[in-house]
Amino acid sequence: MRDRSRPEPFRHERVERAILEELRSLLQAEVSDPVLGGAWVVDVQLSPDGKNARASYAVRSTGDEADVARATKAAFSRAAGFLRARLAASLNLKRTPQLSFTFIGLLLGETEAAAEDEHQGL
């Protein structure tokens, strides 16, 4: 008998990837807050029970890192409900996770792919 306390690893990874791709798409196409214009979601980690998702993001900016981090954190807090509602509408999940956002740094002329590689330790 399968242990129900642990999620299916492949499904869990697929859900994380789907959330990541949908958040990226929403940030590019539907979020109108200019503070989030330079934000790039690098990674999404879903809790084992699927109730919470933590999105790590970097921001393309030349400003002070502390100021940028503060401003984007506030902007993501304001947009979290909207983003969660859009995820619920587009992804066929039994339970849409609560979203939290973690600032990981600035993108100074880096590409988004380089930020992903750096975050994942490649």
Name the residue among 50, 55, 41 with its Cα closest to residue 15: 50
Count of CB atoms within 10 A of residue 109's CB? 8
Rounded to whole angstroms, the Cα distance separating 121 from 7 reads 24
Residue 46's domain spans which residues? 9-119
Domain assignment present for 4? no
Rounded to whole angstroms, the Cα distance separating 42 from 119 reads 7
pTM more than 0.85: no
Which tens digits make up the pLDDT trace of 82-118? 999 999 999 988 899 999 999 999 987 655 555 555 5
Looking up residue 81, the CATH number of its domain turns out to be 3.30.300.20
Domain assignment present for 2? no
Average pLDDT over residues 60-83: 92
Rounded to whole angstroms, the Cα distance separating 9 from 21 reads 18
